[in-house]
Homo-oligomer: A and B are copies of this chain.
Amino acid sequence: MISGTNTSLLQRRHKVLGQHSPLFYDEPLNIVRGENVWLFDVDGKRYLDVYNNVPHVGHSHPHVVEALSLQASTLCTHTRYLHDNVVRYAERLTATFDDSLSMAMFTCTGSEANELALRMARHVTGGSGIIVTDFAYHGNTEAVAELGTAFMAEAKATRRVRSIPIPDSYRAMGGLTGEALGEAYANCVKNEIAAFEADGIKFAGILLCPDFANEGLLNVPSGFLEKAVAHVREAGGVFIADEVQAGFGRSGRHMWAHQQYNVTPDIVTLGKPMGNGHPLAGVVARADIIESFGASSMYFNTFGGNPVSCAVGMAVLDVLEQENLLQNAIDTGAYVSKGLRALQNKYELIGEVRDLGMFFALELVSDRILKEPASEASHKIVNTLRREGVLISKIGRYDNILKLRPPMPFKPEHADILLAALDKAFSQIQEEQ
């Protein structure tokens, strides 16, 4: 029997959580322990984690666990009392942004952060129209589900969200390249702003993940974001950067993914890696936006910004600094990319290799000219690697893009294991064809 499955647990789960609570892999994994970049299943087998970005500084990191335990045994209240932790954490966090982004509000999840950002954007502009890409996913609350134009029921039912084609340089529109392609995609933003106006809906802004992570970690056409945001601001809208997936130094070169562009957001949302697994998220924004929203809306989040969550958040920042994890994202990231490009030379199936620090995507195609998505091969490779003890996932409109996004302490020695496993899996697929 395959290691790590647990049929009786799965049956009990179906009974109390239902059939549709999502699970990874054809044979779901019963993971019981985590350490650094490793996960261990119920049978004691270990897996290299090349997928989870939430345990950002490594699974069960002792410094983070210690900060959590110490503060939880001392005090866990809320922000209606004064506490040093929330102030100190907000100070440390905002210091990593452009000076204009000087205030923070804390929530517990990325969905709540995007909810808050949308409420702020709609409040300060007096508009409601939001532009996203046509393969966006930003969370699970209603107003945020409305942004998932490709697959969410709530998105199909609303008129206040419009989408642009994903600014993809691999499957580029109209055969364009370079600046011309960037401008063409940016013009889509201009067109949707005009469409809102024609529809009698006042425009509020654009919400984008600067890495376009769910869209497939796109190689963004040059100049696209700067030109798109210029159109947005000309029309009185704001730019919300969703850093829930992309943030906290994953790119290595910057703490925030938007800092790779020549543009500063008005509102930034943070989440997943922020508490290394502890439910911690938030919004960093321009002071005038937060003050204006706060004056008109009585916003309070019971658990958001509590002393324990902020202690955990600060411990994550400590480890990022102390273990030089941004530099590691650059160094190990380059090593992984080089290995992935070598695999691309070996296997026709790999249409494009994309990388941004410690984040990698392989777009699989059955034909490099026609770029026919190799969705079934992607599915096979993900499940083969799971059996081989390496955890990855897949994304994109056609589910044909392998998503490699390990915890930040991932090292070249781990990369070697990943690359060998991928080599084996691709060679199996090639033999089968």
A positions within 8 Å CB-CB of B: 6, 9-10, 12-13, 15-24, 28-34, 39, 52, 54-55, 59-60, 62, 64-65, 68-69, 72-84, 86-87, 90-91, 94, 102-105, 107-112, 115-116, 118-119, 123, 140-143, 145, 151-154, 271-272, 276-279, 287, 290-291, 294-306, 308-309
Interface hub of A69, A91, A295 (most chain B Cβ within 10 A): A69
**A91 B12 Cβ-Cβ under 8 A:** yes
Contact between chains at B123 and A16 (CB < 8 Å): no
Residues of B within 8 A of A80 (CB): 22-24
Q: Which residues of the other chain, B, contact A31 by a CB distance below 8 angstroms?
A: 75, 77, 81-83
Partner among B17, B52, B55, B75 whose Cβ is within 8 Å of the Cβ of A59: B75
Beyond A16-B90, A69-B72, A115-B141, 7 additional pairs, beta carbon < 8 A = A13-B87, A16-B103, A17-B79, A19-B295, A76-B276, A140-B300, A141-B141
Contacting residues, chain B, for A111 (C-beta < 8 A): 112, 141, 301
**A301 shortest CB reach to chain B, Å:** 6
Q: Which of chain B's residues has its CB closest to A94's CB? A: B16
Contacts of A279 in B (CB 8 A): 108, 278-279, 303, 309
Q: Across the interface, which residues of B come within 8 angstroms of A62, CB to CB?
A: 73
Cα–Cα, bound, A55→B115 (Å): 26
What 3 pairs between A and B have smallest CB-CB spacing?
Answer: A20-B294, A76-B277, A16-B90
Most chain B C-beta atoms within 10 Å of own C-beta, residue among A29, A294, A298: A298
| CB of A44 to closest CB in B, whole Å | 14
**CB of A110, distance to nearest CB on chain B (Å):** 7
Q: Are A308 and B22 in contact (CB under 8 A)?
A: no
Given the complex, which residues of B lie within 8 Å of A18, measured CB to CB?
103, 105, 287, 290-291, 294
